[in-house]
Structure 1
Amino acid sequence: MQKPSSDGSSANAPHELSDSARASRRNFLRLAGAAAAGSALSIDVNAAARSGAMKKPDVVVVGGGFAGVTAARELAHAGARVLLLEARNRLGGRTFYTQFGDKKVELGGTWVHWSQPHVWAEIMRYGLDLEETIGASAPERVMWLSEGKVQEVPIEDSMKLLIDASNRFHEGSEKVFPRPYLPFLPDDGAMLDELSIADRIRQLNLPPVQRDLLAGLMATNCHNRTGDGAFTEMLRWWTLADRDVLRLFDACAHYKLKGGTSSLIDRMVGDGGFEVRLSTAVSSIKQSAAGVVITTEADERIEARYVVMAIPVNTTGAIEFQPALLPGKQAMAREHHAGAGHKVYMKVKGELGSVMMYAPESEPLNLIFTDHPGADGGTLIGFGVPDFEGFDVHNPKSVEPFIRKFLPHVSVTEVLAYDWHLDPYSLGTWCTYRPRQFSRYVRDLRSPEGRLFFAGADIAAGWRGFIDGAIESGLQVAQAVSGALRQKA
C-alpha cells in the first residue's frame, strides 16, 4: 500500500497535531504492535518473493485487503503474472483477527450473511463454517439511554419502537434506490444527498425516547456523529436489506466466520497463485503508454503493464501519481469519508447475559452487545463516536462508568480496541460517505485511469464498506483488467 506522510495523515490534507493527538498516535503504535502479535497467517505468503521465480509482473495489485486479494486471485487464475504489495506485515486490510485473552476477536470487519452474495459465494466455495454473535442475534434485554436515563421495556416493545422509527426514517428509499447495486444516484437521490443523517432524524420530530434509540443505531451505522454521515448512505443499506430493519441487523451483526476473517484470506491466497510481498509500502506510481513504474518506500522500482489500486480512499493522497488522479479521487483523499469511530472489546466481571444497549452520540459508545455471556463474566462489543473528550477506549477504568449505567453490577477488567483512524494505511474504519460525497465523487472514484484500475470496499456498488463490497469490487476490476490484457496481447 501507500507510503504515509510523516504524521500518518493524508499527504493532501496536512494538519498540525495537538499534544493529545500525538499521544494518541504513540499509544496507537504501541497497541498496534501488541495486537499484531496475536495475528498471523497460516501460509507463507512471501515464499514466492524469496524464490525470485516471478518474471516481470503483468499486474501489480497495491493493497492486501479482501478487494486486492480477490483481484489478484482472479487475475492469476486468468493466466496473468500478478504481484500483490501490502504495506502492513499482514493481509486483511481493515479486517484484523487477533488474540484477546483466551479468545480470538475481530478488531475490524467481522460479520457476513447470505444476503451478501459475493462473500457468501466465497464461504460456500471454501466450505467455511459460521458462528453466531449472541447479543446481536438473541438479546434477552434491550436498553438505551435517552436524555440521560436508561430506558428498558419488553423486547417486543423496543423492537416496535425501532421498526417504526426505521420505517419512517427510510421512507422514499424506493425512489432513490429502486433496486440494490445501482452504483450512482438518480436526480432525486442527488438532492437528498445534501442531507445528513442528523438532518433526517430532525425532520421526523420523534419523541425523545424513540429519537435517541434511532440515533444510537444511526451513529453506529455511520461510525461517527450523525451530522457527518450522509442520509443516502443509510437509504442504500436499507435497500440492500430489503427495507427491513431486522434483516439489516441480521446482515450486519449476526454471523461471523468461525475461524475468523483470516481463515478466508488464507484460503483465497492459498488458492491464488500470485506473489505477495508484505511490509512493502508504495510511494509513487508513474504511468506511460509503455506501462507503469511503481516505486516503493525502499526505493525499489517495479514495472508492470497494469496496476490495481485496492487501498482505502482516505489514503490515496499519500501516493504520488503521475499523471495526477481525477479530481474526485483527490477530493476524497483530502476530505475523508465519515467512518472513524471505535470498536472495542470489553471483558467484564460479574454475571453477563445476552444484552443489547444503545446510546445517542452525546455518549462515547452508541451500540454495545454481548459477544460471549457468562455467569461470572463475559465479553461485550462496543461501537462509538471518535474523539470523545475525557473517554479513553483503551482504559478499562474509563470505559467502566459508561457500562455501569446499564449494568451496575459488572466491572470492566480488560479492553482491546484498534485506532483505525490513526493507522496510516486506513485513516478510518468502514466507509460511510459524508453528505454530497456520493453524488459528487463516486464516478471519479470508480473510474479507471489509463493503466490504473481501482478496487475496494469504499467504492463498491452494493455493500459498500463491508467485506462483501470489497470482494464485489475485486471481482469486477479483475474482469476489466483481464479484458485489457487480452486486448493488448
Structure 2
Amino acid sequence: MEYKTSAASAAGADDSARRRFLKLASTAAAASVLPVGVGAAAPAQPGYDVVVVGGGFAGVTAARELAHRGARVLLLEARNRLGGRTFHANFGERKVELGGTWIHYTQPHVWAEVMRYGMEIAETPGVAHPDRVLWMSEGKVLEIPVMENWALLEDALKRFHAEAGEVFERPFMAGLSAAGRKLDHLSIADRMAAIEMSPAQRDLMNAMMATNCHGPIASGAYTEMLRWWSLVDGDAARLLYSCARYKLKDGTSTLIERMAEDGGFDVRLSTAVVELSQDAAGVSLVTEADERISARFAVVAVPVNTTGQIEFSPPLLPGKTAMAKEHHAGKGHKLYLKVKGRLETLIFFAPETELFTMVFTDQPGEDGGVLVAFGPPVDGRVDLNDPKAVEPFVRRFLPHLAVEQVLGYDWGLDPYSRGTWCTLRPGQFGKHLEDLRAREGRVFFAGADIATGWRGFIDGAIESGLQVGQAVAAELRGRA
C-alpha cells in the first residue's frame, strides 16, 4: 500500500510508480492504528471452527458475530492492518480518509454500529451546507444560486431514475427483478442518451454519475444507479448526503478497532492466502509463507476483483471467476488538495472528460484549506502526485487558489483491492451477482461488493458480514 495519487491501472503503471508504491507502503501502514490486543503473530492453533479471509468491515463483522456465538475464529488479513478499503493518513495536522469515508442514517447497518459503540459524527462542510455550487459545461464554468442548481439537478435525476420503483420495489432484496433484467444491459451513458436535457444539465448529470460509478459513465450499469436511487426513496439531496455528508469524527479506523476489540477472535496480519481447498471434513488454507491452516468452515471476505489471486479447489462458480477477470467499474481516484488562498464552503462539478468530476470543501479557511476531489481513471496522462499538475483544473473554478499539496491512494495498484468501491458493469448484476453471493460447500462469501443494499459502501460490508456470520453460525449449530 502506498501514499500516492497516480490512478493508472495495475497493468499500465510504470516501474517507477510501482517502486514508489512499495516504498511508501510502510509509511501508509504506520499511519493506521491497530486495534488493542491485535497482533501480527497470533498462533494458528488447530481446531478453529471458522477461518475468515479478509480484515475489512465485512470480515471483521463476520468474525465478531461468530465469536460472540461461541465459535473459535481466526481472521487472516494480507495487509499489516485491518480496515480493507478504508484507510486514513495524516495530511498536515489532520487525519484524512483515503478510502471509504462517509456514512448516513439511510444506511442502517453502519449507523447501528455507530450507535452501538457511541461513535461521534462530523460533517463535510462542502456537502452539508455549500454556499456556492459551480459546474463546468462545454468548457465554461457556470454558477446559479444554490437552490436553483439543486432544482436543475433534481429534475434530471428524477427523469433518469424514473424506472427505479418498478425495478427495486424493495432495494435490500437479493437479486434483480424481471424488470431489472430487461434493463441490465444498459450503461449509465445509454440511459443518459435517452433523456432530453440541456447541455448544462447534461454535463451536471454526467459529473454526478461519473462520480457515483467512479469511472466513465459507459462503464457503469444503469441498474446500479437505480438501486442507489431506490435506497434514498428518490430524494436528490438525500442521495448526495448519503454518499458524502457524515463521517466518523475520529476516523473509520476507530470503528473497526472497536469491533475487533469487542470480537474475541484471533487475528493474523500480513498473512495472504494463496490456496483454499475443501472436502467433507473441512477447509484447508495455504498462506503466501506456505503455512497450512485448517478449519471447519471458511468465510472469504475479499474484493471481487481479487478472488483470482486465490486458487480454489474445487474451482469457484462461473460468476465468481468471471468477475475476477472482468472487474467492476470502480477504478477512479480520490485526492485531498491543500490549497492556499481563501477557500469558501462550496462544491463544483465537471464532466468525465475533465481531471475531476466532483470537488468539495473539506476544510474551509481564510488563508487556505483542503478540498476533496474525485475523478475517473487518468491512465498516466497526468501526474496526480504533482500539485502543479492538478492546479490548472482548480484555478478554472477558483482562479485565486494555489494547490500546495496533494494526497491520495492508488487502490488500483493495491494488490488486495485492484479498484475502488464496487459499481457493477452492464450485465454483471443479472449474470454474476447470484454466483458471487452463493455459498460453495464449506466456503461462504462476504463483502461490500456483494451486498444487497449499499453495495460498495461501509454499510454494505457490514450488512454482508452480519448475514454470513449468521449463516455460518447456523451451520455450526446444526453440525455440533
- TM-score normalised according to structure 2 size: 0.96
State which of 154, 162, 176 in structure 1 corresponds to 2:167. 176
Matching residue of 2:265 = 274
CA contact (8 A) 1:74 1:478 kept: yes
Matching residue of 1:34 = 27
CA contact (8 A) 2:10 2:412 kept: no
Supply the distance in 1 between the matched residues of 2:307 and 2:110 (Cα, whole angstroms): 25
1:58-457 matched pairs, under 5 angstroms? 58-388=49-379, 390-457=381-448
> Counterpart amino acid of 2:29?
A
Q: Is 1:23–2:16 an aligned residue pair?
A: yes
TM-aligned CA distance change 1:331 to 1:309, over 3 Å? same
User: Relative to structure 2, which stretch is displaced further, 127-136 or 53-62?
Assistant: 53-62
- Quote the offset at 1:55 in angstroms: 4.2
CA contact (8 A) 2:133 2:346 kept: yes
CA contact (8 A) 1:35 1:99 kept: no
Identity %: 62
SS in 1 for 2:31: coil
- Quote the offset at 1:17 in angstroms: 4.3
Q: CA RMSD in A?
A: 1.5
Supply the distance in 2 between the matched residues of 1:129 and 1:411 (Cα, whole angstroms): 33
CA contact (8 A) 2:87 2:97 kept: yes
SS in 1 for 2:126: helix
Q: Is 1:46–2:35 an aligned residue pair?
A: no
In the alignment of these two chains, the number of paired residues is 473
Supply the distance in 1 between the matched residues of 2:24 and 2:101 (Cα, whole angstroms): 20
- Quote the offset at 1:425 in angstroms: 0.1
Supply the distance in 2 between the matched residues of 1:144 and 1:26 (Cα, whole angstroms): 37
1:472-487 matched pairs, under 5 angstroms? 472-487=463-478
Supply the distance in 2 between the matched residues of 1:34 and 1:482 (Cα, whole angstroms): 38
Supply the distance in 1 between the matched residues of 2:187 and 2:312 (Cα, whole angstroms): 32
State which of 454, 459, 465 in structure 2 corresponds to 1:463. 454
SS in 2 for 1:123: helix
CA contact (8 A) 1:230 1:432 kept: yes
> Counterpart amino acid of 2:118?
G
> Counterpart amino acid of 2:415?
P
Supply the distance in 2 between the matched residues of 1:283 and 1:180 (Cα, whole angstroms): 35
- Quote the offset at 1:92 in angstroms: 0.2
CA contact (8 A) 2:102 2:245 kept: yes
CA contact (8 A) 1:28 1:418 kept: no
> Counterpart amino acid of 2:332?
G
SS in 2 for 1:307: strand
CA contact (8 A) 1:84 1:274 kept: yes
User: Relative to structure 2, which stretch is displaced further, 32-41 or 242-251?
Assistant: 32-41
Supply the distance in 2 between the matched residues of 1:26 and 1:171 (Cα, whole angstroms): 47
Matching residue of 1:3 = none
Unmatched segments (≥5 aa) in structure 2: 1-7
CA contact (8 A) 2:89 2:95 kept: yes
SS in 2 for 1:262: helix
Supply the distance in 2 between the matched residues of 1:83 and 1:167 (Cα, whole angstroms): 46
CA contact (8 A) 2:37 2:261 kept: no
CA contact (8 A) 2:10 2:413 kept: no
Supply the distance in 2 between the matched residues of 1:464 and 1:392 (Cα, whole angstroms): 30
Unmatched segments (≥5 aa) in structure 1: 1-8, 10-14
- Quote the offset at 1:388 in angstroms: 4.7
- Quote the offset at 1:30 in angstroms: 3.3
Query: How big is each residue's C-alpha offset from its partner over 1:31-83, in whole Å with a ceiling of 9 and x where there is no partner?
Result: 44333332222413128x44x49442110000000000000000000000000
CA contact (8 A) 1:421 1:427 kept: yes
- Quote the offset at 1:270 in angstroms: 0.4
Supply the distance in 2 between the matched residues of 1:114 and 1:223 (Cα, whole angstroms): 23
CA contact (8 A) 1:32 1:418 kept: no
SS in 2 for 1:305: strand
- Quote the offset at 1:16 in angstroms: 9.8
> Counterpart amino acid of 1:443?
E
Matching residue of 1:5 = none
Supply the distance in 2 between the matched residues of 1:237 and 1:425 (Cα, whole angstroms): 26
Query: How big is each residue's C-alpha offset from its partner over 1:227-282, in whole Å with a ceiling of 9 and x where there is no partner?
Result: 00000000000000111110111111110001100000110000000000100000
